[in-house]
């Protein structure tokens, strides 16, 4: 492949998701839009190498795709009344002006709400969002989720069939539904991020592409819609992601207090902390409080009294055993391991590996080595992720020596 062709492909890849979103609105469905996008790509391959990439490739592709779709509909059924009506609809649908960025962004926003529709299963929401909004290929999504491309493809096909057959609209929901629907969108974005960040099994714990995609989606959503929780989620992800390079060393998870801070992305931390200050000026909510906790961890030294206070808030906003466990660990840092251990023992989360790991750490600090060893071994038996296993293995060896 020569350089010119590679350059054209790069332009196409960058523009395709936005072009698709607009074509879906113009043509009223995934199938026609995908056909039209493919036709537009063929037209671009025909024209761009000779005439050069147009100034506004996005508008060029939208316009070419729309033209090809009308052409196709005409060819398909010349005497069909329904297709004549469809053709007319497409002719009348507003075509974004050359530099009408907001209109194109709105098309993407509509599509995000379609892909993250609560009538679709969560794994389908994730796959569809990565495919249609982020423009990842089925193979890339399958690699990220350690599954077969055919599984992802089936998920996407089924989701598209439901969108078509059940009448899921390409629309931003009305004000009454918006808060719930944004919550689903944020959940999908956070799922994508966590899958990239904390991959629950496998040899490589960090799948950075998914983190970058999730951050890109949160930025996009924040640009399109005024929603403090979207800003909170963006801040949370920026702060976690900023520590990515320091989180694993030699294939082993590095705990926060042992991380090499020179490896942190300080520009990203500054942005995350600025966003946290911004959202905490408003109401306290799920992602913004978590982001505030992450901000404490990335500040000079962790301010444990403040972190405990934030966990107290989180327990009220989103009570769960995992939040209780994290709060107990923060209390141990503030008041000493004995107090923390009493809280953790009260939780009895025997089937959760991090409960055992947290207990083990406090027992170790209290000098109760036999109990610490048993707890580490219990955690190790439940851990499938290689980097975490190595970390626990090292702690166990240190106890024995």
Using CB under 8 A, list all residues that contact other proteins: 117, 119, 165-169, 171, 173-174, 176-177
Shorter beta-carbon distance to other proteins: residue 185 or 360 = 185
How near is the Cβ of 168 to other proteins at its closest, in Å? 5
Q: What angle do CA 68, 72, 75 make, to 5 degrees?
A: 140
How near is the Cβ of 166 to other proteins at its closest, in Å? 5
How near is the Cβ of 50 to other proteins at its closest, in Å? 44
How near is the Cβ of 172 to other proteins at its closest, in Å? 10
Shorter beta-carbon distance to other proteins: residue 42 or 166 = 166
Shorter beta-carbon distance to other proteins: residue 92 or 176 = 176
How near is the Cβ of 169 to other proteins at its closest, in Å? 4
Shorter beta-carbon distance to other proteins: residue 101 or 171 = 171
What residues contact residue 24 under an 8 Å CB cut-off, 6+ apart? Answer: 30, 33, 107, 110, 111, 170
Shorter beta-carbon distance to other proteins: residue 7 or 166 = 166
Shorter beta-carbon distance to other proteins: residue 153 or 178 = 178
How near is the Cβ of 302 to other proteins at its closest, in Å? 44
How near is the Cβ of 176 to other proteins at its closest, in Å? 7
C-alpha to C-alpha distances, 224 to 125, 172, 354, nearest whole angstrom:
20, 11, 38
Shorter beta-carbon distance to other proteins: residue 181 or 207 = 181
């Amino acid at each position: 492949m020569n350089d010119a062709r590679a350059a054209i492909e790069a332009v196409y890849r960058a523009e395709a998701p936005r072009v698709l979103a607009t074509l879906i609105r113009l043509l009223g469905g995934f199938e026609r839009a995908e056909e039209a996008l493919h036709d537009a790509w063929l037209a671009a391959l025909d024209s761009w190498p000779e005439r050069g990439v147009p100034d506004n490739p996005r508008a060029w592709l939208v316009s070419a795709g729309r033209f090809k779709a009308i052409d196709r509909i005409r060819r398909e059924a010349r005497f069909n009344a329904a297709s004549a009506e469809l053709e007319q609809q497409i002719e009348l649908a507003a075509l974004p002006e050359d530099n009408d960025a907001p209109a194109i962004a709105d098309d993407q926003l509509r599509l995000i709400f379609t892909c993250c529709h609560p009538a679709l299963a969560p794994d389908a929401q994730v796959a569809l969002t990565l495919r249609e909004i982020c423009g990842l290929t089925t193979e890339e999504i399958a690699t990220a989720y350690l599954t077969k491309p055919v599984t992802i493809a089936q998920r996407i096909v089924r989701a598209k069939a439901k969108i078509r057959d059940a009448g899921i609209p390409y629309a931003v929901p009305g004000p009454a539904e918006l808060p719930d629907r944004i919550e689903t969108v944020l959940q999908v974005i956070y799922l994508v991020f966590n899958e990239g960040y904390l991959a629950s099994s496998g040899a490589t714990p960090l799948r950075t592409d998914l983190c970058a995609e999730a951050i890109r989606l949160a930025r996009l959503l924040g640009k399109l819609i005024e929603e403090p929780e979207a800003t909170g989620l963006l801040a949370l992800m920026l702060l976690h992601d900023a520590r990515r390079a320091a989180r694993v060393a030699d294939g082993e998870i590095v705990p926060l207090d042992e991380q090499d801070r020179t490896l942190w992305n300080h520009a990203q931390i500054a942005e995350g902390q600025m966003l946290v200050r911004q959202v905490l000026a408003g109401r306290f909510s799920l992602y913004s409080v978590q982001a505030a906790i992450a901000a404490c961890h990335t500040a000079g030294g962790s301010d444990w009294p403040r972190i405990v206070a934030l966990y107290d808030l989180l327990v009220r906003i989103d009570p769960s055993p995992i939040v209780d466990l994290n709060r107990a660990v923060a209390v141990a840092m503030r008041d000493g391991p004995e107090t923390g251990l009493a809280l953790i023992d009260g939780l009895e989360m025997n089937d959760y590996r991090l409960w055992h790991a947290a207990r083990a750490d406090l027992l170790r600090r209290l000098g109760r080595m036999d109990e610490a060893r048993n707890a580490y071994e219990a955690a190790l038996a439940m851990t499938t992720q290689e980097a975490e296993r190595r970390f626990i293995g090292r702690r166990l060896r240190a106890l024995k020596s």
